[in-house]
């Protein structure tokens, strides 16, 4: 589903964040991207949702090279990718329901679809009873669930999460991981960058280890596998 081929990323300031990265993700995969700070995890995530263009190489999603999209095609790509951030990025003056509905509204969904799918998404992340509350009335874990609901409400093929548990205590973090696993089981591909060793160890999923901008290890459910496609 995702083919990353010989991707290098040099930022305008000269930092070489990724060097010749090859990586393949199958549909329905759950992939952790780990590595020390500055290894290039966030950069990789940003390239996949086409926040930046790589300096070299190609990134194919469903066979389509997203580094060659036209400007107006980028939003169409994003509709198929749900993004979750470490710092939530919710609209604090709107309710939980409105925050999730916002993602549907701005791509032109009908009120009927919104009323049907937002509660479904909230139920999936276990927040049905908090729909009318504002983000600042929620705990960190609950806020991150709202983000998760917002990321899945448009039924994307892929969820990418950059340290979604970074601001949460371990127990709350596991709750988020359960929700993510739930989403993954329903067929959505998940790519998640994280520092949290305990999470990676308990989840027993594929782990891609970045070091100094290169893939230094790629383990599939405990066993070593060849990276690349």
Ligand X SMILES: Nc1ncnc2c1ncn2[C@@H]1O[C@H](COP(=O)(O)OP(=O)(O)OP(=O)(O)O)[C@@H](O)[C@H]1O
> Interface with ligand X by CB under 6 A: which residues?
11, 13, 15, 17, 35, 37-43, 195
- When CB distances are held under 5 to 8 angstroms depending on the partner's kind, the choice from Mg ion, ligand X, another protein, none that residue 181 binds is none
Of residues 39 and 81, the one with the C-beta less far from another protein: 81
Of residues 37 and 63, the one with the C-beta less far from ligand X: 37
Minimum gap (Å) between residue 155 Cβ and ligand X = 27
Minimum gap (Å) between residue 15 Cβ and ligand X = 4
Minimum gap (Å) between residue 41 Cβ and ligand X = 3
Of residues 42 and 189, the one with the C-beta less far from ligand X: 42
- When CB distances are held under 5 to 8 angstroms depending on the partner's kind, the choice from Mg ion, ligand X, another protein, none that residue 72 binds is another protein
DSSP string, the chain: -EEEEEEEEE-TTS-EEEEEEEEEE-TT-EEEEE-STTSSHHHHHHHHTTSS--SEEEEEETTEEGGG--GGGHHHHHTTEEEE-TT----TTS-HHHHHHHHHHTTT--HHHHHHHHHHHHHHTT-GGGTTS-GGGS-HHHHHHHHHHHHHTT--SEEEEESTTTTS-HHHHHHHHHHHHHHHHTT-EEEEE---HHHHHHHT-EEEEEETTEEEEEEETTEE-----
Of residues 42 and 165, the one with the C-beta less far from ligand X: 42
Q: How far apart are CA 38 and CA 210, in angstroms?
A: 9
Q: How far apart are CA 171 and CA 44, in angstroms?
A: 27
- When CB distances are held under 5 to 8 angstroms depending on the partner's kind, the choice from ligand X, another protein, Mg ion, none that residue 74 binds is another protein
Kindly list the residues in this chain that would bind another protein in the complex (CB under 8 A): 49-51, 61-62, 64, 71-83, 89, 91, 102-103, 105-110, 150, 154, 157
- When CB distances are held under 5 to 8 angstroms depending on the partner's kind, the choice from another protein, ligand X, Mg ion, none that residue 206 binds is none
- When CB distances are held under 5 to 8 angstroms depending on the partner's kind, the choice from Mg ion, another protein, ligand X, none that residue 13 binds is ligand X
Kindly list the residues in this chain that would bind Mg ion in the complex (CB under 5 A): 42
């Amino acid at each position: 589903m995702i083919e990353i081929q010989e991707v290098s990323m040099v930022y305008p300031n000269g930092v070489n964040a990724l060097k010749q990265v090859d990586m393949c993700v199958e549909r329905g995969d759950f992939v952790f991207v780990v590595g020390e700070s500055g290894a290039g995890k966030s950069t990789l995530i940003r390239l996949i949702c086409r926040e930046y263009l790589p300096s070299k190489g190609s990134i194919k999603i469903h066979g389509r090279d997203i580094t060659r999209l036209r400007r107006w095609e980028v939003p169409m790509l994003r509709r198929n990718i749900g993004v979750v951030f470490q710092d939530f990025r919710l609209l604090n003056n709107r309710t939980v329901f409105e925050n999730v509905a916002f993602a549907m509204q701005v791509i032109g969904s009908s009120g009927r679809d919104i009323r049907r799918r937002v509660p479904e998404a909230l139920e999936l992340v276990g927040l049905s009873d908090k729909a009318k509350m504002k983000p600042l009335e929620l705990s960190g874990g609950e806020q991150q669930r709202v983000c998760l609901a917002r990321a899945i409400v448009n039924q994307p093929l892929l969820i990418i999460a950059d340290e979604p548990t970074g601001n949460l205590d371990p127990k709350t973090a596991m709750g988020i991981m359960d929700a993510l696993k739930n989403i993954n089981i329903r067929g959505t591909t998940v790519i998640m960058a994280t520092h949290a060793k305990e999470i990676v160890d308990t989840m027993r999923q594929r782990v891609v280890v970045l070091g100094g901008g290169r893939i230094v290890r790629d383990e599939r459910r405990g066993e070593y596998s060849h990276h690349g496609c």
